[in-house]
Amino acid sequence: MHRLNVWKDELVAWFKTLASAAVYATLIVTFGFQVARVEGQSMAPTLADQDRLIVNKLAYRLGEPRRGDIVMLYYPINPEKSFVKRVIAEEGDTVRIVEGRVYVNDVPMRDDFVPPEYRSHDDWGPKVVDEGYYFVMGDHRNNSSDSRHWGFVPKKYIIGKVQLRWWPIPSAHIF
């Protein structure tokens, strides 16, 4: 009888541990971090198709997206889809693109991370980013559906900040 009670107590302890782990994991995934996969080439060469990412969902509960941040967001035209893009301009900024060169508040954006073959040659704007919104673009400027096409992104659609590319392991990188 004693062995049965010990075994039963051990089983209850294991169950409590597993239940606690499940609750913690759910809280972390819901409010803290999310694993995501890149689909497509719109962020090349920074991110490649099928890269695996860790997205920090707490980052923008505690702070605001900033120019240069790589973010995961709900696609404004169909919020059931999510995209990964780079924040180019914040609310109140004026964005203008001339022959593919991006200007924010009449200052050319430092974008040496975009190789010549990924640059577009389009013109856009100037437009002022509305309050509570952001202007985002993919790094593969001539192959990206972004704010140039579907407009500004409301802050509530920004899921979180891309913090880590963890797969493939040889190209793991902290952002």
129-142: pLDDT as tens digits? 999 999 999 999 99
Query: For residue 140, which of 39, 42, 38, 71 has the smallest C-alpha distance?
Result: 42
State residue 62's pLDDT score.
87
Which strands, in side-by-side order, build the sheet including 94-98? Answer: 107-108, 101-104, 94-98, 124-128
Query: For residue 8, is pLDDT > 70?
Result: no
User: How far, CA to CA in Å, does 168 sit from each of 49, 165, 171?
Assistant: 11, 8, 6
Q: How many domains does the chain have?
A: 1
* Active site members: 42, 85
pTM of the model: 0.82
66: domain range? 2-174
Query: For residue 126, is pLDDT > 90?
Result: yes
How many angstroms from the chain centroid is the CA of residue 175? 11
Task: Residue 138: give its domain's CATH number.
Answer: 2.10.109.10
State residue 29's pLDDT score.
56
Query: For residue 112, is pLDDT > 80?
Result: yes
Lowest mean pLDDT among 28-37, 53-62, 68-77, 119-128: 28-37
State residue 19's pLDDT score.
47
Q: Read off the pLDDT band of 6 (50, 70, 90).
A: low
Distant-in-sequence, close-in-space partners of 75: CB < 8 Å, separation ≥ 6? 81, 82, 83, 150
Lowest mean pLDDT among 32-36, 62-66, 81-85, 163-167: 32-36
